[in-house]
Amino acid sequence: MQQHFSEIATRRDVRRSRKCCNHKINLRDIAIFFASYTISGHYISSLVMWLLLQFVQHIN
């Protein structure tokens, strides 16, 4: 999933880098960073929610 997402980000950046070659590395790094950050953030938040639900069920 993460690899697929970064590939999409890289493909998007290839189109952008033709317009501005100077920012090629920066845009690619930022795109991959945001992609991986959002994916990991989503997994962490869902994991925390699951743990909270388990905890609440255990108390009740």
Q: Which pLDDT score, from 0 to 100, does residue 1 have?
A: 53
What confidence score (pLDDT) does residue 20 get?
55
Are residues 28 and 13 in contact, defined by beta-carbon separation less than 8 angstroms? yes
The residue behind tokens 């317009």 is 19
List per-residue pLDDT tens for the chain, 60 residues long: 556 655 655 666 555 555 555 556 677 788 888 888 887 887 888 888 899 999 988 887
- Report how far residue 17's alpha carbon sits from residue 23's, in angstroms, rounded to the nearest whole number: 7
The reported pLDDT for the residue numbered 32 is 82
Q: How far is CA 19 from the centre of its chain?
A: 24
Residue with structure tokens 């994991």?
47
